[in-house]
């Protein structure tokens, strides 16, 4: 309870707050008495959430430097908590995802988050206080087939966050990674839409990889949690004076991360091949 008191009247910036984990986090933060500023591209969604929670809104694409500047300015004198959450999954084989799509994925999931961190750090250092919470993924620990570019963005976010945590510790700034497994949000709808051109390309050497997409998604969804459960972990990290550096969310994420410490790489690869129903040598041309 005393921990929660720490959020009262504190300023919180949340990117990607029009849906899923970001919207759930905004509700919890506002409920804990924080002054919340919401960002995402869909202004109508943000306005509805603002009416419900009393939050402020800065709508726009987080890759736009002007939007980021407005977002930081909207927090007033100080940003106490930055929640870098905006993101999506660009699916497809590493070989065939276009360079443009791969780079765009990095712009949203990695560079925009990095620039938000750099924008709030001077203020946090000056006040010798602040939490930066980066929504990574279990995909920041593993390389999943058909999600190589997405995994790369989350690995990059993890590497930068780990370095930054140590760099800014002398100023009492906390850097936290949240690593959820599957979460029931719009993330999978967005991903399936983006996967369509790959799935429809019957001439692709990777066509057999897509034959079991529905079954794979179903297996994932069985292990999925709610965005509210992830938001609770974000709130917990923000309410702690000394949060952990990483929080895995869902049993699947905790088990996978523990297994990655114990098992040889070849065993992990074999497990992932099974999980993603990767075709055998005689099934590809
Ligand atoms: N769902 C999962 O299974 C899962 C698992 C692990 C990690 N994650 C991570 O959790 C975070 C949130 O995802 P979610 O599951 O809550 O998905 P979601 O429901 O699709 O929400 C994604 C949010 O990001 C925003 N967004 C996307 N591109 C943006 C851009 N260019 N500028 C500003 N906002 C942008 C979206 O809003 P607009 O479209 O309105 O811009 C939306 O509010 C992501 O970083 C994702 O990688 C998700």
Residues 247-266: tens digit of each pLDDT: 999 999 999 999 999 999 99
Q: Looking at the CA of residue 183, tell me the nearest atom of ligand 1.
A: 3
Rounded mean pLDDT of 125-141?
98
Judged against a pLDDT cut of 60, whether residue 41 lies above it is answered with yes
Cα 151 to ligand 1 centroid, rounded to whole Å = 14
pLDDT of 214: 87
With pLDDT > 90 as the criterion, what percentage of the chain qualifies?
92
User: Mind listing the pLDDT tens digit for each residue in 58-98?
Assistant: 999 999 999 999 999 999 889 999 999 999 999 999 999 99
Nearest CA to ligand 1 atom 45: 87
Which string of DSSP letters, residue by residue, matches 193-223?
A: HHHHHHHH-TTSTTGGGGTTHHHHHHHHHHT
Judged against a pLDDT cut of 70, whether residue 20 lies above it is answered with yes
Q: Looking at the CA of residue 178, tell me the nearest atom of ligand 1.
A: 7
Cα 108 to ligand 1 centroid, rounded to whole Å = 10
Cα 269 to ligand 1 centroid, rounded to whole Å = 27
Nearest CA to ligand 1 atom 23: 16
Active site residues: 18, 136, 150, 154
Nearest CA to ligand 1 atom 29: 86
CA atoms of 257 and 271, how far apart (whole Å)? 13
The mean of the pLDDT values for the chain is 96
Cβ-based neighbours of 262, under 8 Å, separated by 6 or more: none
User: Mind listing the pLDDT tens digit for each residue in 152-200?
Assistant: 999 999 999 999 999 999 999 999 999 999 999 999 999 999 999 999 9
Domain boundaries, the chain: 2-283
Q: Looking at the CA of residue 84, tell me the nearest atom of ligand 1.
A: 45
Give residues (CB < 6 A) around ligand 1: 15-22, 39-42, 45, 61-63, 85-88, 108, 135, 137, 180, 182-183, 185-187, 190, 227
From 185, 190, 231, the mutation candidate for ligand 1 (largest count of ligand atoms within 8 A of CB) is 185
From 13, 17, 20, the mutation candidate for ligand 1 (largest count of ligand atoms within 8 A of CB) is 20
Judged against a pLDDT cut of 90, whether residue 3 lies above it is answered with no
The CATH class of 2-283 is alpha beta
pLDDT of 2: 64
Judged against a pLDDT cut of 90, whether residue 6 lies above it is answered with no
Cα 140 to ligand 1 centroid, rounded to whole Å = 15
Sheet containing 35-40: order of strands:
56-59, 35-40, 11-15, 81-84, 130-135, 173-180, 246-249
Judged against a pLDDT cut of 60, whether residue 208 lies above it is answered with yes
CA atoms of 237 and 231, how far apart (whole Å)? 10
Which string of DSSP letters, residue by residue, matches the chain?
A: -HHHHTTTT-EEEEES-SSHHHHHHHHHHHHTT-EEEEEES-HHHHHHHHHHH--EEEES-TTSHHHHHHHHHHTTT--SEEEE-------S-TTTS-HHHHHHHHIIIIIHHHHHHHHHHHHHHHHT-EEEEEE--GGGTS--TT-HHHHHHHHHHHHHHHHHHHHHGGGTEEEEEEEE--BSSTHHHHHHHHHHHHHH-TTSTTGGGGTTHHHHHHHHHHT-B-HHHHHHHHHHHHH-SS--SEEEESHHHHHHHHHHHHS-HHHHHHHHHHHTT---GGG--
Cα 132 to ligand 1 centroid, rounded to whole Å = 17
From 13, 14, 15, 19, the mutation candidate for ligand 1 (largest count of ligand atoms within 8 A of CB) is 19
Judged against a pLDDT cut of 90, whether residue 21 lies above it is answered with yes
Judged against a pLDDT cut of 70, whether residue 1 lies above it is answered with no
Judged against a pLDDT cut of 80, whether residue 4 lies above it is answered with no
Cα 283 to ligand 1 centroid, rounded to whole Å = 35
Angle between helices 99-106 and 148-168 (to 10 degrees): 30
């Amino acid at each position: 309870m005393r921990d929660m008191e720490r959020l009262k009247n504190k300023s919180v910036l949340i990117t990607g707050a029009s849906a899923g984990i970001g919207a759930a986090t905004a509700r919890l933060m506002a409920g804990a008495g924080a002054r919340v500023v919401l960002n995402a591209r869909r202004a109508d969604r943000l306005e509805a959430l603002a009416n419900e929670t009393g939050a402020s809104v800065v709508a726009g694409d987080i890759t736009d430097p002007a939007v980021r500047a407005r977002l930081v300015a909207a927090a007033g004198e100080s940003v106490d908590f930055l929640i870098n959450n905006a993101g999506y999954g660009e699916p497809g084989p590493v070989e065939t995802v276009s360079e443009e799509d791969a780079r765009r994925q990095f712009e949203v999931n990695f560079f925009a988050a990095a620039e938000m961190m750099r924008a709030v750090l001077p203020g946090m250092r000056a006040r010798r206080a602040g939490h930066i919470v980066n929504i990574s993924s279990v995909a920041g620990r593993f390389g999943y087939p058909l999600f190589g570019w997405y995994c790369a963005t989350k690995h990059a976010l993890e590497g930068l966050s780990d370095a930054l945590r140590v760099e800014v510790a002398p100023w009492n700034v906390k850097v936290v990674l949240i690593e959820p497994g599957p979460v029931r949000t719009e993330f999978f709808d967005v991903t399936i839409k983006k996967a369509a051109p790959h799935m429809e390309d019957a001439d692709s050497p990777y066509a057999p990889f897509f034959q079991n997409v529905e079954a794979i998604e179903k297996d994932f969804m069985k292990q999925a949690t709610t965005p509210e459960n992830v938001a609770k972990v974000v709130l917990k990290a923000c309410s702690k004076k000394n949060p952990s550096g990483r929080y895995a969310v869902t049993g699947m994420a905790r088990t996978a991360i523990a297994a990655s410490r114990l098992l040889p790489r070849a065993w992990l690869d074999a497990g992932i091949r099974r999980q993603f129903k990767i075709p055998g040598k005689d099934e590809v041309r």
